[in-house]
Amino acid sequence: MFVKHELIKPKTIEHRSYQVSIAESALSRNTLVVLPTGMGKTVIALLVIAEILRRKEGKILFLAPTKPLVIQHSNFLKNHLIIEDQDIVSFSGEIAPAKRQDLWKKSRVIVATPQVVENDILSGRIDLSEFSLIIFDEAHRAVGAYSYVFIAETYRKRKPEGLILGITASPGSEIEKILEVCRNLGIDNIEIRSKDDPDVKPYVQEIEISWRKIELPHEFLRVINLLKEALSQRLKALKEAGALESSSISRISRKKLLEIQERIQRSIKEGRISNTLFTLASLQNEALKIYHALELLQTQGSTALRRFFEKLQAEAKSKGGSKASKVLMKDPLIIEAIAYTKDLKIDHPKIDETVKIVKEQFERNPDSRVIVFTNYRDTSIKVEESLKNQPGIRPIRFVGQAARGEDKGLSQKKQAEILDKFRKGEYNTLIATSVAEEGIDIPSTDLVVFYEPIPSEIRTIQRRGRTGRKRAGKVVILVAKGTPDEGYYWSALRKEKRMRRELEILRRKLKKRLEKENIILSPSQKRLTDYVDKVEENRENKGKEEDLSIIADVRECRTQVVKELASRGVDVSPKQIDVGDYVISDKVCVERKSSRDFVDSMINGNLFRQLANLKNSFETPILIVEGEDIFTSRNVKPSSIYGCLASIAVDYKIPILFSKNQKETADFIVAIARREQQESKKEIPIRGGRKTMTLRERQQYIVEGLPNVSSVLAKRLLKHFRTIKNIANADESELFSVEGIGKSTAKDIFDVFNEPYEE
């Protein structure tokens, strides 16, 4: 039986009652759909899209976090919707902004990454009020500063009646996290299904889950004992100094060490600075690095540990390397551990076990598809090497785009190519890192191997969901005995159970809320309306700045500062600014620096050059230093930082404001803008102004204001035409003859000088 809809191609979508009922629910309210991986979240999105298009209610925006997912969703919609292909477009950062602006106007369904949409909102290329539905794939990402949050907030402000559909396999185990996702997306309805629900069960394929305990080789013991002794020394020192409260240092976990780090940094931020505190900070950092080394050996193997030691040695030798790395590389215990590790001829037995498991799968079914998940790229290299020479196994690594040392990563184009070859069988085994956890459409995977358990219930569900889609699947989890593997495994199971429980509570709560606002989730929890009311109150307090205008440097447009300003209704114009980051008026310009960036630029000598340019360009320059770790972000004496701050205030006479975070930076900028533009009635310049310029600089400055003209092109135009008057009088062909000036730019320049000004 297939879905029948006038805009869905016949006999292409299987009719599943749970998908249809969820889609009907999502058409009336902002809905979060929580459905196990492989159970058709995208089909539900398709059903909703088709009905919105049938009603002709407006455009549709489908957001996905990666380019491969964008391409996947776009192809899916083209394959199943009965509309013109040109009505469905997909956007990524590779499409020029000018072309995107045209496509925004012409297309009915746009599939895009959130970063592209965010940029186009900030630059005014898109009006979200034209959209009737926004779909947020992998909706659990809608927390913190992720682009989903800004897009949803802007959409709800521009189109209050617009629909929102969030889809995810796992929003998290903490009620606060789930509530945050719901608040950020404006969710008032949750549709949850598990494999055990009556309407889902008929479509669920069995997944056999087993876990294999691995004994560590005795050859590892010497290195483990050396590392444990080195760790114990640091923990004892931390305990004696009062940084540790536990009675037994053997119970100290990574989480506890991170808590110590947070307390130390808080003390430094509060001004309780002392040599003892910095010593404790270094001890904590050393302990954390040793803990990581131990975990690498116990769960990954000697190859991963060797590479980690090599990175520590390189960091210790570098000029800006951390004190902790330098101390560790002089510790006799660590030196001995490094020597033993170099001589280890055996790697982790998980490698052989992985080979054995994968071989058994292909012996049973030569046409299988297998994914081996591992947290570390170094391990993925080792696993690939071990599988390459096995008969019938055609492995390929599948990693992210970012470079990791000598490993350059994979471009999105290469990722898509690998997945296509995997589906076709040219490769039959993926050795994947976390990049393969979200949304990849590989329905034929028969076996998933966890090289190690992971404590995240979200990632566990995503990994497990790579199998058991169209037919029965198998999951094997490798656990090294007596190592963090065991704790991570049970942690993920507990969190997953809690997530299901919390989701059920929240689902019941949201349904009751529609009838009665003040029902309490449970005696120990706050009311959901407490959160919602607070958010609404905050929103009312925002959005009062519609008459403020600010120029932001283009490099700032991806920051939370700009998002915060835009969400309050401030007119933010992205432009390339020669000096500073935010032009507030013809007098005032703000330079924003994170505490880390401030110290880095102080060390490399760029800071005072930048501030001198700022001082020469604006009558009232302002420096905002953002973050609370200015004294701990780098290994620099506090006296040096104080001296630098004093010089800025006294010698350069530049006011310094300190903000805790990007939101507080936005608060400062709004306050300054309100004073300048509303109280003092100063106009914001089209570009940042300069106090004093030579005639040559002023000529170049004027020409740089022409469309798409950089400082280099400005010099070429002036050199070619000699005067600005000659540039203004030139026709398009004359402008085009200048090197670097294309036909489009030539036309834009000509239009600036020849088209009449219209208000």
pLDDT of 468 reads 61
CA 237 to mean position of chain CA atoms:
37
- The SS3 assignment for 196 reads coil
Distance CA 739, CA 176 (A): 57
Q: Do the domains spanning 549-679 and 695-754 agree at the CATH topology level?
A: no
What CA–CA distance (Å, rounded) separates 233 from 229? 6
The total of other beta-carbon atoms located within 10 Å of residue 601's CB is 17
Q: Would you say 630 and 595 are in contact if contact means Cβ atoms under 8 Å apart?
A: yes
42: its two tokens:
């995208």
Do residues 337 and 226 lie in contact, with contact meaning Cβ atoms separated by under 8 Å?
Answer: yes
Q: Which residues pair with 112 in a beta bridge?
A: 63, 91
- Which tokens sit at 294? 């131990």
Domain 549-679 in CATH 3.40.50.10130: yes
Q: What is the pTM of this model?
A: 0.61
Q: How far apart are CA 192 and CA 189, in angstroms?
A: 10
Q: Which residues of the chain have pLDDT under 70?
A: 93, 172-174, 244-251, 268-274, 405, 436-444, 457-458, 461, 465, 468-471, 503, 506-507, 509-546, 679-693, 710-711, 759
Cα(607)–Cα(627) distance, integer angstroms: 17
Number of Cβ within 10 Å of residue 228's Cβ equals 15
Query: How many C-beta neighbours within 10 Å does residue 163 have?
Result: 23
The amino acid at residue 82 is I
- Looking at the domain 207-215+348-481, which fold is it? Rossmann fold (3.40.50)
Spatial distance between the Cα atoms of 12 and 759, rounded to a whole number of angstroms:
53
SS3 623: strand
In this prediction, residue 458 carries a pLDDT of: 67
Domain range list for the chain: 17-203, 207-215+348-481, 218-343, 495-541, 549-679, 695-754
Q: What is the pLDDT of residues 602-656, one digit of tens each?
A: 888 888 888 888 888 888 999 999 988 888 777 788 888 999 999 999 988 899 9
The confidence score (pLDDT) of residue 197 equals 79
d(C-alpha 25, C-alpha 2), whole Å: 20
CATH of 17-203, one of 3.40.50.300, 1.10.3210.10, 3.40.50.720, 3.30.1360.70: 3.40.50.300
* Helical residues (DSSP H) of 605-731, grouped into ranges: 606-617, 638-650, 662-673, 695-703, 711-721, 724-729
Fold of 218-343: phosphoenolpyruvate carboxylase, domain 3 (1.20.1320)
* Domain 695-754 coded CATH 3.40.1160.10: no
Q: Where do the H-state alpha helices sit in 27-174? A: 41-55, 67-80, 97-106, 114-122, 147-158
Distance (Å, whole) CA 480 – CA 509: 41
Q: Name, in order, each residue with C-beta under 8 angstroms of 489's C-beta and a sequence gap of 6 or more.
A: 211, 453, 477, 479
- What does each C-alpha distance from 454 to 34, 294, 437, 584, 590 come to in angstroms? 21, 16, 12, 47, 43
pLDDT at 525: 34
Would the CA dihedral through 264, 270, 274, 278 be positive or negative? positive
Q: How far is 390 from 385, CA to CA, in rounded Å? A: 10
Rg (C-alpha) for the chain, rounded Å, is 29
Output the pLDDT for position 526: 34
- Using CA atoms, how far apart are residues 424 and 390, in angstroms rounded to an integer? 20
Residue identified by tokens 């835009």 is: 566
- Cβ-contact 37, 465 below 8 angstroms: yes
